[in-house]
Structure 1
Amino acid sequence: MVIVFALVALAVLAVVAVLHWYVWRRLVRDTTRGPGPARRAGTAVFVAGPVLMVAALVAERSGAPFALQRALAWPGFLWMALALYLLLAVVAGEAVRPLLRRFPVRRARAAAPVPEPETVPAGEPADGPGPDARAPAHGPGPDGPERAEAPGPTRRLFVSRVVAGAAATTAVATVGLGTHGVLRGPRVKRVTVPLARLPRAAHGFRIAVVSDIHLGPVLGRSFAQRVVDTVNATQPDLIAVVGDLVDGSVKDLGPAAAPLAGLTARHGAYFVTGNHEYFSGAEQWVEEVRTLGLHPLQNARTELPHFDLAGVNDLQGESEGQGPDFDRALDGRDPARACVLLAHQPVQIHEAVRHGVDLQLSGHTHGGQLWPGSLIAAAANPTVAGLDRYGDTQLYVSRGAGAWGPPTRVGAPSDVTVIELAAARA
């Protein structure tokens, strides 16, 4: 098993290296005349970037000292996003390159000295110099070119520089805007969901859904406070934190998660584990969020005044013998009451349908986070983001409040969703 993992890791690193070489070639080698300061600087960036990226990933997963994780995370994870969009922009530039080659490139020209009329020295025949006279040394003869071209960029170099400049500008702007969008905090999204079994008394009940906060070496305490303020400003009746709260241990991230104690809702705040909790010490985090005032639902159910609220563990918990148990969470309940289920991954919807759940609230996908990641997420999940229906069960998938890896989102803005439940016969 270890050998297989090592071979897969080497294959991935080889692909990453080849793709970086391709982008380096287009952005650095093809835009410089030869070895020099510009090429050396560009090469240094394309060596340091992937090294820092791999180091950041290894440090996070290996539990390296938190100070080291923080030092590596910003440059390493931002390079991950930048490298992706540099690659996409360079590939797009390949389609533009042949068109640009059709445009003429004007080269700078330096005027050669214009020959002055020759004077005839005294004593020489008026019809011209003697047979030993030499051609004037100051310029070409009358049949030669009048101007000599000065060195200028070749057509290939000109096109390479235009395409590279556009690609770099596009990639940097994309990553910059996407990072700003994450750091400013999630925006509120409101969705109305009618439930057939919801009584009229519960019409308008509001659940604030927040997922995938991903507190870690990049997003810390100030980000957690921003999320808490956003959630509380919606004045929800209930708060559902549906997994992937953290990327790290309680020891390292306990202070970052402390603002969650400020979450306020009339019927409380509830929590279920995500896959990243099982990379970070799930049992410790379940106890930690309990001390912060959240109610963990570990394959459990609670009866609220007008409907049942249930929660199941994430699928990753199976690796520790703590996987989801739908029978334990949902069997024996009153079938006349509506049921809302908290489950981190959308793929758990099929079990929810089998158990007659009315609404499942999930996260996990980040909406793809970095386009075209949404295409990959769509291949692995029944729903990537938003509200969908499976039989008599509805599924809502939040894009999440934070970000994993690069603190960047493109085409998948972060959100806190307020689900307003509606009685079908209100």
Structure 2
Amino acid sequence: MTVDPAAGPPLLLFSGDPRRARPGAAPGRRLGADPRFAAEATTALSAGAGCAVLDHGALLAGDTEGALARVPRGAGPVWYRGWALPPERYAALAGALAAHGGRLLTSPAAYRTAHELPGWYDTFRALTPRSVRLPYAVGRAPEPAAPAVESFDAVGTARVWWVDGEPVLTGPHPDTPGLRPVPDLASVAPAVRALGARFVTTDLARRADGVWRVVEVGDGQVSGLPAGVDHRPLFEALVTAGAGYPLALTAGRVALRALLPATAARVADGESAGFDWIDGTPAETTSGGAGIAVRAAAAGHYRPGWGVFVLTDAAAGTALGSIGFHGPPDDEGFVEIGYDLSPSARGAGWATEAVRLLAGWAATHPEVRTVCALTEPENLPSQRVLERAGFRFVGEREGLRAYEAAAVAPNPAGAKDEEPLNAGSHPRS
């Protein structure tokens, strides 16, 4: 994924209110967003997104210039969020935005695939009830719906929101807001990633035998958000991904999953926050690292891409600890990392692989000239982790041992972490 540090945050383009802006109202209403999306616009603004409104009616009528009258030129990357559009009108929107210096992050082809059957069906065939398409005769009432072939438990339907293949928000389906099932996504995630659409939803229901089945796939730009659910994780993910930063980094057996501020606040409070922690809950050092991101966001210093990641087993999904940056690169291109592991994850090489992965990603970023880590002098296990990850000792800084990343080397076969004294505790390695 290419990052342009000058690009800034993406633009969230909401369906506008035909009655236009409302002075003195909440930010989303002042912007002029349709009442259905005004609260979302307020959340998007608080997450750091740029926001503008689209004249939905004008677009449907074929007036693309009129539709974009309140959209700034040179918008750069754009997520649409509003009422559903016929695929041909969505394609017209993409073309008009491109002519104005904007770029829809969901392509017209991806929108059609996720928004309409049979676009997504083949990818999810093994995970969804068998579907049959029948010809529709104009002027004749459709046949009554046939009984469902599969029997489902009465636990409600879950709607999962995915950005760049990562599940960023799970909540009830808007039709059953009082029921909040928690689906198993192990088999769904590979299908979502194979679909190739950046922003999608999956609706899942549990069958009588306990198996979760996909009953609908949708384009996330036009899927309904349920009331009563904290939408911040979704819009923080859209801002991060839209700016070109990863929501996950994966290499070998390690996957680093971005811990964005709204979710980091829960981890800082000791909650599992949807992760399957190896020791049941996040370690105290992990919660402390999450607290760094929360405080940075509260102070206005947080930048997408330069926060904390949860270190997970890529195959099992188990959360093992955390790793992250102490902030974005400074004016000299200097960036510092820190990491920690849950007690049960120590001694198996996880920290070495995670440090190598994160430092390797940072080193490819145009803003970064030096990747550094600091350790207490007595923390020998953490120093060995850094050395195996390709860092070299460069001297003492304020009583701490300073290491800087050299060329990122392949992970030695069978390399293990030493049992840490206080392994990689935040805020220092």
Q: With the length of structure 2 as denominator, give the TM-score of the two structures.
A: 0.26
Structure number with higher helix proportion: 1
Q: Which has the larger radius of gyration?
A: 1
Q: Which has the higher contact order (CA 8 A, sep 6+)?
A: 1
Q: With the length of structure 1 as denominator, give the TM-score of the two structures.
A: 0.26
Structure number with higher strand proportion: 2
